[in-house]
Amino acid sequence: MAKYKSYNYSQNVLIPVSLEDQLMPGTLEFAIHTLVETRINTSVFDRRYANDETGRLAYDPKILLKVVLFGYSRGLISSRQIERACKENVTFMALTCGDQPDHSTIAGFVSSMKEEIKSMFRDVLLVCEEEGLLGGTFFALDGCKLASNASKEWSGTLKDLRWKKERIEKKVRQLVEEQVKLDREDDEDGPGRRSSGGAERERQIERLLKKAERVGRWLQENGPKMGRQGREIKSNVTDNESAIMVTSHGTIQGYNGQALIDSKDQVILHGEAFGESQDLHLIPAVLDGAKENAEAIGCGEDYFEGKILTADSNYHSPLNLKKCEEEGLDAYIPDKRFRRRDPRFEREHKQRQRRSDRLTLADFAYQEERDAYGCPHGEIFRLQVKTVIADGVVYKGYHSDGKRCNGCELRARCVKGKKVKRKYLMVPVGSVVGNLTKAMAAKIDSEKGRRIYHQRMAIAEPVFANIRVHKVMNRFTLRGRIKVNIQWLLYCMVHNIGKILTRGPKYAFT
């Protein structure tokens, strides 16, 4: 018969642990520990405390910063997860020297470092500069959209939210009527009886009433949220500074985390989170923040002058291009149509056109004697608007009365959208003098421009892959742009510390 060693879970075991030995050189936890102890100035937190004579001793900000940075590097972005790790994980125990800060202390520490986070980010950036990790000649700007701590189900215009409140109240009235009816039937059946599900229905009514009250209170305290175009956009009851964003993973309620990245070792020079999905207006704010960081680490005011900046076509706008010109940047930011003009993608573009089979301007015959266009079905488009300027390009607008459009067999190839009644033709006829868009298009279409721009992806994308996938820092747990920006800069700090660990010749941490 087989014999096995006996075991007993009720016994106590003492395990000798040296906290210092848990922080092994060459590891990320050792790098975080060393940088926080020797290079990151945490005295900026001292003014928060007034316990020098009386009051309870506070946790050292160095301890809290270490566990937050290390927790984020392990994908533990919730304060409760970090609290649990400080009680169960020996590496976290070593970083805290046996202290066990609770989740409210950790969450309060993170959400309150409004100005301190900039100082600490620059301390890490200064180490990157001293280690020679900043090339300072080639930069890539990109962003990633991360989910916020708010549900998109609580988003909408004021009209949508009022309708949502009315629908909730209507549901409550229905449930109350059902409960009254069931109670009346129970009374007829005899005293002391109660229909099944009554308690659950009451709890459901209570939950719905709280939701309706929450939406109603929000509507009383807030007005419409206006977008860049002066039109109302969707608000959010939980976090009104977040926004609806369309990503490759679906539609989310979130923030747009921007990062300006140095090409040499992919160090993040500046990071900032925005509550808007579009990148068309973000370059001025990002460049101003990056200039402040560069000056703080001793790189000078003209740090970006004559340097190369690449960004994808989502950043192509007159505002962004003008800012790059003012800063003296050699920018490469293509427009949306740059691939159509690239001969390397000509075959692919033609195949896509054949698959879509859309009618183009070439399918409309120009009638020079009356300055009009004729469609393949015989509809005449006459000049309606002489000049329209969009992105520096001058257009003429041609309209038709649309009488033949509804029954036309070519409508699906000609008119976009089922609700559009008729076709409009916008014919480009020229460009504004000094047009930045046209100048950038010519720059991108050149052989040098294509060669430089296509380096962007290899610089920017690995950074976001490291943050979102490898480190699993793929969402925000705080609310409000100020607090979310703190968390985004902490994510960027974790990335930069990893670069110091793997690329820094002096700080090899071995």
137-151, 299-313, 496-510: the lowest-pLDDT one: 496-510
Q: Span 362-381, mean pLDDT?
A: 82
**pLDDT tens profile 316-328:** 998 999 999 999 9
Contact in structure between 257 and 146 (CB atoms under 8 Å): yes
**Is residue 190 pLDDT above 60, yes or no?**
no
20-24, 79-83, 405-409: the lowest-pLDDT one: 405-409
Q: What is the pLDDT of residue 361?
A: 77
Q: Span 305-320, mean pLDDT?
A: 93
Report which of residues 119 and 184 the model is more confident about: 119
Rounded to whole angstroms, how far apart are CA atoms 121 and 109?
16
Please work out, in degrees rounded to the nearest 5, the angle formed at the alpha carbon of residue 254 by the alpha carbons of 251 and 255: 130
**Is residue 370 pLDDT above 90, yes or no?**
no
Q: Span 180-200, mean pLDDT?
A: 66
- Among residues 350, 351, 320, 348, the alpha carbon closest in space to that of 334 is found at 320
Tell me, letter by letter, the H, E, C secondary structure of 94-160.
HHHCCCCCCHHHHHHHHHHCCCHHHHHHHHHHHHHHHCCCCCCCEEEEEEEEEECCCCHHHEECHHH
**Is residue 357 pLDDT above 80, yes or no?**
no
Contact in structure between 100 and 87 (CB atoms under 8 Å): yes
pLDDT category of residue 433 using cuts at 50, 70 and 90:
very low
Q: Span 155-162, mean pLDDT?
A: 93
> What DSSP state is assigned to residue 475?
B
Predicted model pTM? 0.83
What average pLDDT is seen over the chain?
Answer: 87
Q: What is the pLDDT of residue 429?
A: 73
Q: What is the pLDDT of residue 328?
A: 93
117-131, 326-340, 362-376: the lowest-pLDDT one: 362-376
**Is residue 185 pLDDT above 60, yes or no?**
yes
A 10 A CB-CB count for 11 gives 6
Q: Look at residue 8 and give its three-state secondary structure.
A: coil
**Is residue 356 pLDDT above 70, yes or no?**
no
Q: Show the tokens assigned to 244.
A: 């609806």
First-to-last alpha carbon distance for the chain, in angstroms, is: 52
CA dist 169 → 204, 211, 235 (Å)? 12, 9, 20
Q: What is the pLDDT of residue 117?
A: 95
- Cα 220 to chain center, whole Å? 29
Please, how many CA atoms are within 13 Å of residue 364, restricted to the half-sphere of its CB? 26
Q: Look at residue 440 and give its three-state secondary structure.
A: helix
Q: What is the pLDDT of residue 489?
A: 97
**pLDDT tens profile 82-125:** 999 999 999 999 999 989 999 999 999 999 998 899 999 999 99
Q: Show the tokens assigned to 438.
A: 């046209």
Tell me, letter by letter, the H, E, C secondary structure of 207-219.
HHHHHHHHHHHHH
Q: Show the tokens assigned to 125.
A: 């950036």
Q: Span 282-307, mean pLDDT?
A: 93
**Is residue 394 pLDDT above 60, yes or no?**
yes
pLDDT category of residue 37 using cuts at 50, 70 and 90:
very high
Q: What is the pLDDT of residue 46?
A: 86
Q: What is the pLDDT of residue 202?
A: 84
Which residue carries 């004579």 as its tokens?
Answer: 53
Q: What is the pLDDT of residue 86?
A: 95
pLDDT category of residue 346 using cuts at 50, 70 and 90:
low
Tell me, letter by letter, the H, E, C secondary structure of 285-309.
HHHHHHHHHHHHCCCCCCCCCCCEE
Highest mean pLDDT among 348-352, 431-435, 460-464: 460-464
- Among residues 313, 243, 316, the alpha carbon closest in space to that of 274 is found at 243
Rounded to whole angstroms, how far apart are CA atoms 395 and 66?
58
* Sign, Cα dihedral of 213, 217, 220, 225: negative
**pLDDT tens profile 223-281:** 999 988 888 999 999 999 999 999 888 899 999 999 999 999 999 999 999 999 999 99
